[in-house]
Amino acid sequence: MKLADYRTLGHSGLRVSPLCLGTMTFGMDWGWGADVPASRAILDRYLEAGGNFIDTANIYTKGHSETILGDHFAERGGRDRVVLATKFCGNLHPGDPNGGGAGRKAIQQQLEQSLRRLRTDCIDLYWMHFDDPYTPIDETLRALDDLVRAGKIRYLGVSDTPAWKVAGGQVEAGLRGWSPLVALQIEYSLIERTVEHDLLPMARAHGLGVTPWSPLRGGLLSGKYGRNRRPEGEGRHVPGVSKSLNERNYAILDAAEAVATELGTGMAQVALAWVLARPGVASPILGARTLEQLDANLRALDLDLPPELMARLDAASEPAPIFPHAFLVNAKSVMHGGSAIDGVPAAPWPLAPQTDQERW
């Protein structure tokens, strides 16, 4: 697979690369990340390899990430050849309650500010960054639809929001003739698989292409960590990652490392290839602070995990079922009368009537 093996994003005609370049690391304004020359070098390398999908947000590095992207395309051209995605909801204006969130006033203001920093007149994909519990979803979607009709946004997506709310909004948009959501951005990795309970099935049912963030779980799956291995120093991710170094996750790291050794590759490539192969996933988002990190991550496109190794990784990382999914495991026996439906067998329900005489 190559970066230029484009995929349509959800139920849309938008073509995107199978790996998206995340730019939360563009700029040193948060005290870590890549400086401007390094950021531009990473962007150039991604584009030269055929990548066309770039993800940022209004709040990344206090707005500097958007500015770096805007300056790059304004100076070097090529803006129309990329799918440029940014997000709203984050507040860059302390003391202003409408500086962030998903209300109409907030969306309009945040969009104009992003357009200015990105030095463009239209956002290709505009994400609701996270759930705003204080704003009705219909207000958000109607405001976004108006901006699509005004030519300032092309496609809509939603990130880090409960499945029930996304599904409800998508249905309402369809009923009212508003612009639909086409993509869902969620955390997803070998270590974070709880989204498989509801968010991923919801996305497939409602035509949303999934773009997982943190597919390496903040570096935990990069190969730097193991039972007897940790990177030196206290970088940005070390304290947070350290909280995830428990027995369950060590077992996942062991399995990923064993698969990587068997295939003669790195753990990061295995972890990314696993996410790429999951049903419904359109384009995982890569974060890189150096060219070396980007190049290593892009090598995941060359890796095809055999079914038996995928099964091994699945077994090591399988999330514990939650209600109602755990309860419904046995429901097919109650419903199907011992028949196989769509190739899935079901054991007979032992409490069902066994003869006509037992049936009331």
Name the residues annotated as catalytic: 60
Angle at 308 between CA 278 and CA 247, to 5 degrees: 75
Q: Can you tell me the distance from the alpha carbon of 67 to that of 65, in angstroms, rounded to the nearest whole number?
A: 5
Between the alpha carbon of residue 282 and those of residues 105, 106, 182, 190, 237, the distances in Å are: 31, 29, 11, 16, 26
Cβ atoms 210, 18 nearer than 8 A: no
CA proximity to 92, closest of 123, 113, 122: 113
Q: DSSP assignment, residue 53?
A: E
Q: Can you tell me the distance from the alpha carbon of 60 to that of 77, in angstroms, rounded to the nearest whole number?
A: 23
Residue with tokens 């990130």: 159
Q: Can you tell me the distance from the alpha carbon of 113 to that of 111, in angstroms, rounded to the nearest whole number?
A: 5
Angle at 118 between CA 80 and CA 90, to 5 degrees: 125
Q: Give the phi and the psi of residue 182 in degrees, each rounded to 5.
A: -120, -10
Residue with tokens 């011992």: 338
Cβ atoms 202, 167 nearer than 8 A: yes
Residue with tokens 């428990």: 246
Burial zone of 130 (CB within 10 Å; 0-12 exposed, 13-18 middle, 19+ buried): middle
Segments of 268-333 assigned E as strands: 285-287
